Structure 1
Amino acid sequence: MSAQTLEDAIALTKKFTEKPSNEDLLKLYGLYKQATEGDNETERPGGFDFKAAAKYNAWLNMKGKSKEEATEQYIQLVDQLSKTHI
């Protein structure tokens, strides 16, 4: 099973029977946000919201990638994860 588009890849993640590692989930999040919104221009979350900070940083790490490049990498990562999570 292989995704051809971002929509295919998103649908494929919903078929995962086990949850990917936090590292993989954050990478997926960062690539998805970069693919759909571009560079992270939002304010850094404050306080002790560690989950929000991790997601913010995951997206920030993708800064400078084109939406097309981020989409391609997202699809590749989902395809790779689908081999062990479906």
Structure 2
Amino acid sequence: MSLKDQFEAAVADSKNLPERPDNMTLLKIYALYKQGSSGDVDGKRPGFTDMVGRAKWDAWNELKGTSQDEAMQQYIDLIESLK
């Protein structure tokens, strides 16, 4: 099974976790997903009034420079640990 197939399986699994992860874990899942699927963050940081968008952007931006393959593997490992 290729890394991309494993990543897509983990994305499907993430929707069926036994319990909802805490907010910090959810941000990590989001950031790893975006880095793995899109690469480095682009665009401007959301404004002060968009707290959720800003937190997501910041979490994704922290992974800048991480390869897409590395982010996919970290995503897979994180979802596996939450099952």
Q: Distance in 2 between matches of 1:59 and 1:47?
A: 17
Q: Distance in 1 between matches of 2:6 and 2:77?
A: 10
Q: Distance in 2 between matches of 1:33 and 1:13?
A: 14
SS state at 2:35 partner: helix
Aligned-pair CA distance for 1:47: 3.1
Fraction of identical pairs, as percent = 44
Q: Distance in 2 between matches of 1:19 and 1:41?
A: 28
Using the TM superposition, name which of 39-48 and 18-27 deviates more. 39-48
Counterpart in 1 of 2:63? 62
- TM-score, length-scaled by structure 2: 0.90
1:19 corresponds to 2:39: no
Counterpart in 2 of 1:29? 30
For residues 45-56 of structure 1, what are the structure 2 equivalents within 5 Å? 45-56=46-57
Q: Distance in 2 between matches of 1:41 and 1:15?
A: 29
**Number of corresponding residues:** 79
In structure 1, stretches of 5+ residues that fail to align are none
Q: Distance in 1 between matches of 2:67 and 2:50?
A: 28
1:40 corresponds to 2:41: yes
- TM-score, length-scaled by structure 1: 0.87
Aligned-pair CA distance for 1:13: 1.0
Superposed structure 1 runs of 4+ greater than 4 Å apart: none
